[in-house]
């Protein structure tokens, strides 16, 4: 992934503003430390900060067509780019780069804005059609990549786009998170939803009985397509079910690709990663002796990965919280709790020269894996909540995975959010998904799909103690002392008097705990403009189901070590 910054129809002297645009783009250079590009034409500016993963030697952006009529900036990865490239070459298109993103320009020329339906990947892009003075911007269906757009009241016809809020907050007085699965077209000045899956209406409850083998094959294909890379890569391994499964599948798929044993009926993608980097690296982090470190070690031994284990101290994490809020651009409690260890780990990963990692985000939303889902009153409510959680991932776990890693120029890919896998998983009857106390734990069908204990000819994907490990949210699993410390520190830093005036200070989205108050203060220090709060959504369990507002898994009754 990369960082993009663009201005459409700047109402002023563009050449004089170019230096300002370079400064605003530089604010997100952590997303793309490998190269910077900027292109100005008419009254438009497009800038790009590149993280080179595919087409390393020739993929600098903005990409400009030979006739200079199209200009493109992309943050993301197009997994089916080779298939699309082959189709376009048959129509006479000559490619300038080996980038997976160049196909976007020629697809637009062939199909207009409908081309977005052809893209299989994670992406945010801005495409300038020079002849028609038209700009197209779009974001991937779930919002794995980040994108914002903004306006300024003194230039009503000017539109800004950026991968992060920090490139816009000083110059725009209205800023919105660009909605996932949507496309903005300056021709109509409208942002419309193009991603319309069958499961989008949460009131239409899935009815398909679970097919465990199909579920397993679909997730394996999802992981396989994400092994596209021309740089060293690895897997984030917390020792929980989700990351451990992704690691296990990645190891197996790498071995199949390098040994040439993929079956003819299995889908093929860009397999550059395993062919160039066959050894699988895994990375974990936690406080000394934390549950995640112990579990991750067992998984790494089982999979025989090249494992890297890091410990952090509570003080190191506390010192990083302000920087985490700067990079995450949120004051949400659960996001900050979980992002801080991930942010620290990403720095270690970057120091090793690794630029891409696979991660397990999304499984809990898709399958109702959070412990508060135990309290769902019925099947319909359970299903509706999974749909809502998936729709809001771009405010929470996707935002965390993207910005925590990209703060250090590391890209995170999330196989559980593959569109084909989502189409399958979200259509499953919630009666198969819901936990049943004493009979079926959370994410039972995922665990069962990868339970090969009844087949002695298949090597176990994971040790049983990991496959059937209770859900442990990342912010808990790194060590229970981490969240406890945050609560203790907030009690010291936030006085009772200040907390009593929280409503007066923030009448909208008022902090309800001293920990939340502490984060809101830090957020305001980085982003004092009122426009900056519009893109923040807080993650809380369902209080109307009788659940604690505290997002920690330990705050739920189903947790074995509940508060």
Q: Is 240 annotated as a binding residue?
A: no
- Contact status, residue 51 vs residue 33, Cβ threshold 8 Å: yes
Tokens representing 364 are 């809990």
C-alpha span between 485 and 489 (Å, rounded): 6
Rounded alpha-carbon distances, angstroms, from residue 216 to 220, 249, 293, 314, 362: 6, 10, 26, 38, 16
Helix (H, G, I), strand (E, B) or coil at 38: strand
C-alpha span between 179 and 379 (Å, rounded): 28
Q: Is 466 annotated as a binding residue?
A: no
Ranges of H-type helices in 451-494: 464-467, 474-477, 480-493
Give the other-Cβ count within 10 Å of 117's Cβ: 12
Contacts of 345 by beta carbon, 8 Å cutoff, 6+ apart? 236, 283, 284, 285, 310
Beta partners for residue 4, in sequence order? 48
C-alpha span between 118 and 474 (Å, rounded): 34
Rounded alpha-carbon distances, angstroms, from residue 166 to 29, 45, 172, 196, 535: 11, 17, 10, 30, 12
Q: Is 107 annotated as a binding residue?
A: no
Residue found under tokens 């203060």: 521
C-alpha span between 16 and 513 (Å, rounded): 46
Determine how β-strand 3-8 pairs with β-strand 356-358: unpaired
Starting at the earlier edge strand, list the strands of the sheet with 306-311.
306-311, 281-286, 233-236, 356-358, 411-413
Q: Is 100 annotated as a binding residue?
A: yes
- Contact status, residue 447 vs residue 468, Cβ threshold 8 Å: yes
- Contact status, residue 50 vs residue 60, Cβ threshold 8 Å: yes
The DSSP output letter for 210 is P
Q: Is 445 annotated as a binding residue?
A: no
Tokens representing 54 are 């595919």
Q: Is 2 a catalytic residue?
A: yes
Question: CB burial class (10 A; 0-12, 13-18, 19+) of residue 457?
Answer: exposed
DSSP 239-296: SSHHHHHHHHHHHHHHHHHHHT---TTS-----HHHHH--SPEEEEEESTT-HHHHHH
Exactly one of 2, 73, 101, 398 is catalytic; name it. Answer: 2
Residue found under tokens 């196989």: 415
Which residues are annotated binding-site positions?
100, 236, 285, 359-360
Q: Report the catalytic residues.
A: 2
Which residues are annotated binding-site positions for L-glutamine?
100
Which residues are annotated binding-site positions for ATP?
236, 285, 359-360
């Amino acid at each position: 992934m990369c960082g993009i910054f663009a201005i459409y129809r700047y109402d002023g002297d563009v050449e004089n503003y170019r230096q300002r645009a370079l400064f605003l783009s530089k604010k997100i250079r952590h997303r793309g430390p490998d190269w910077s590009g900027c292109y100005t034409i008419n009254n438009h500016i497009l800038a790009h900060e590149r993280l080179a993963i595919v087409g390393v030697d020739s993929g600098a952006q903005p990409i400009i067509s030979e006739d200079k009529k199209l200009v493109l900036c992309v943050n993301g990865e197009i997994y089916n780019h080779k298939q699309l490239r082959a189709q376009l070459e048959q129509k006479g298109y000559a490619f300038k780069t080996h980038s997976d993103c160049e196909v976007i320009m020629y697809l637009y020329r062939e199909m207009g804005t409908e081309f977005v339906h052809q893209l299989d990947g994670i992406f945010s892009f801005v495409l300038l059609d020079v002849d028609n003075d038209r700009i197209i911007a779009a974001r991937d269906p779930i919002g794995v990549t980040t994108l914002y757009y903004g306006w300024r009241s003194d230039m009503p016809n000017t539109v800004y786009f950026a991968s992060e809020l920090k490139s816009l907050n000083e110059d725009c007085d209205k800023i919105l998170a660009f909605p996932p699965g949507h496309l903005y077209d300056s021709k109509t000045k409208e942002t419309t939803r193009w991603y319309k899956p069958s499961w989008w209406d949460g009131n239409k409850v899935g009815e398909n009985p679970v097919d465990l083998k199909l579920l397993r094959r679909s997730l394996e294909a999802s992981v396989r397509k994400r092994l596209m890379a021309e740089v060293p890569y690895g897997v984030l391994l917390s020792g929980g079910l989700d990351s451990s499964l992704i690691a296990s599948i990645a190891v197996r798929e790498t071995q199949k690709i390098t040994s040439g044993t993929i079956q003819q009926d299995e889908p093929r993608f860009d397999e550059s990663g395993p062919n160039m980097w066959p050894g699988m690296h895994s990375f974990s982090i936690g406080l000394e002796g934390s549950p995640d470190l112990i579990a991750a070690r067992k998984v790494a031994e089982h999979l025989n990965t090249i494992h890297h284990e890091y410990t952090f101290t509570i003080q190191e994490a506390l010192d990083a919280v302000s920087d985490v809020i700067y990079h995450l651009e949120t004051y949400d409690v659960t996001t900050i709790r979980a992002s801080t260890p991930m942010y620290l780990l990403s720095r270690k990963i970057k120091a090793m020269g690794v630029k891409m990692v696979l991660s397990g985000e999304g499984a809990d939303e898709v399958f109702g894996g959070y412990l508060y889902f135990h309290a769902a009153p019925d099947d319909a409510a359970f299903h509706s909540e999974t749909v809502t959680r998936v729709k809001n991932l771009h405010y929470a776990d996707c935002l965390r995975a993207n910005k925590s890693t990209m703060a250090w120029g590391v890209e995170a890919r999330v196989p559980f959010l593959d569109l084909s896998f989502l189409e399958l998983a979200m259509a499953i009857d919630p009666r198969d998904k819901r936990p049943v106390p004493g009979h079926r734990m959370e994410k039972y069908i995922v665990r069962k799909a990868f339970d090969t204990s009844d087949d002695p000819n298949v090597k176990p994907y994971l040790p049983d103690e990991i496959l059937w490990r209770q859900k442990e949210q990342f912010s808990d699993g790194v060590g229970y002392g981490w969240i406890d410390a945050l609560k203790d520190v907030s009690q010291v830093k936030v006085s009772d008097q200040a907390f009593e005036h929280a409503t007066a200070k923030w009448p909208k989205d008022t902090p309800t705990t001293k920990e939340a108050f502490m984060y809101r203060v830090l957020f305001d220090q980085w982003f004092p403009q009122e426009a900056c709060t519009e893109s923040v959504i807080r993650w809380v369990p369902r209080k109307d189901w009788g659940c604690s507002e505290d997002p920690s898994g330990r705050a739920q009754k189903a947790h074995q070590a509940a508060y």
